[in-house]
Structure 1
Amino acid sequence: MRFVLKSKLKGLKGDIKEWNKAEYWNMEMRLVSLREDIEELDAKSEMGILTMQEVGDRMLKFAELWRLWKSKEAMLLQRSKSKWLKEGDANSKYFHKCIKSRAPRNGIKTLNVGNKWVYEVGD
């Protein structure tokens, strides 16, 4: 039973790799291209020379841009989770950075002791 499942998963691996390459391989280039196309159409729109076809194209491009942004966000989230699961506590560089950035805010600068404000240890 395990061997059958393992062999099916191995067979599926190549197909998934091809799909992943087709879908996500040049995602950054596609995002840049879509942004540039939308900016170009927006400039035409500001000049008042945008046709109905171009309005429809802009809507489609914006929908595709939004879909790619969401996919990229989900992919980055999955990568960070998998890195955390794989490395566990060894992935503490991020957490130490967070703690260090909060240290100045967490420090006690003054205390009110008996209706008197204490600013330094010797006061």
Structure 2
Amino acid sequence: MSRLDRFMVSEKWCVSWPNCIQVAHQRGLSDHVPVVLDVDNANWGPRPLQWHQQHFKNLDGKILEAKNQISSLDIKGEEAELLEEEVKELHDLSVQLHSMARVQTSMNWQKARMNWVREGDANSKNFHNMMSSRQRRNAIHLVHVDGVLVEGVQNIHTAVYNHYSSHFRALDVLRPGVDGLNFRKLSYTQAASLVQSFSLEEFKQAVWDCESFKSPGPDCFLGWLHV
């Protein structure tokens, strides 16, 4: 460790936290050692992860045992009517089995995520197995076309091309048009009046028609101020 790989503490710090310790981890590819300052004031017992591991230890065996007990009660129920206590036990076992199954699924998912984070992008055997599995799932080995099984790369290419080309092909169909319809049209005089300049009287009339509470225009003045 170098002089940079340490904590600077004072006497007052040591008095306030006498149980503080400095933990150095492996430096890996870095030139410096990661240092963690830890304060162990009290021992609170096993950590949640350790409790979780102890509580769900041998989860597969517990699930198998619950399945065997449920199967035994089901067989007994086919031969004779179950007692009230046995019906309650069967219900409790079903609830426990579903609960343990959910926990097992969650743990397997977390283990898979941890395994992928640890070995996924490291060009490891697990990475290549995952990529091979994904490639197998994405591969198209055969398709059904009009009830006929089509195999082979070239045959599948042709079937896919024909399927989409038949959907997006332009068809010669009779489409409705506007030919033969008589629309009302403007005369040349009316059309010319649409582009002619406004007269001074029209400007005055538009301003005079503005109410006093109209919103300001682009110049921040109300219409009634323009006289």
> How high is the TM-score relative to the length of structure 1?
0.71
2:128 equivalent to 1:92: yes
1:14 aligned onto 2:46: yes
One-letter identity of the residue aligned with 1:35: K
1:46 to 38, 62, 78: 78
Cα distance in 2 between the residues matched to 1:108 and 1:4: 62
> Of 88, 91, 97, which residue of structure 2 is paired with 1:65?
97
Greater Rg over alpha carbons, structure: 2
Q: Who is 1:82 aligned against?
A: 114
Query: Whole-Å Cα distance in 1 between the matches of residues 75 and 88 of structure 2?
Result: 15
Deviations 1:35-89 (A, max 9, x none): 0000011111111231011111111111001111110000000111111122232
Give the aligned partner of residue 121 of structure 1.
none
- Larger relative contact order (CA 8 Å, sep ≥ 6): 1
CA distance in 2, matches of 1:65, 1:48: 24
CA distance in 1: counterparts of 2:136 and 2:49, whole angstroms: 40
SS at match of 1:3: strand
Deviates most, 15-24 or 74-83: 15-24
Match of 1:27 among 52, 59, 65: 59
1:3 and 2:28 correspond = no
- Unpaired runs of 5+ residues, structure 2, are 1-35, 143-151, 163-227
Distance 1:84 1:108 in 2: 33
Q: CA-to-partner distance for each residue in 1:9-33, whole Å, 9 max, x for gaps?
A: xx66833354124321111111111
Number of matched residues? 110
Question: Aligned-pair distance for 1:92?
Answer: 3.2
Query: Helix, strand or coil: the match of 2:120?
Result: helix
| One-letter amino acid of the counterpart of residue 83, structure 2 | T
Q: What is the one-letter code of the residue matched to 1:75? A: M
Separation in structure 1 between the aligned mates of residue 54 and residue 117 of structure 2, nearest angstrom: 27
Q: How high is the TM-score relative to the length of structure 2?
A: 0.41
Poorly superposed stretches of 4+, deviation over 6 Å: none
Rate the CA distance shift 1:79–1:13 in 2: closer, same or farther, 3 A.
Answer: farther
- CA distance in structure 2 between the aligned counterparts of 1:86 and 1:79, rounded to whole angstroms: 10
The structure that is helix-richer by fraction is 1
The 1-side partners of 2:102 and 2:108 are apart by 10
Gaps of 5+ in 1: 116-123
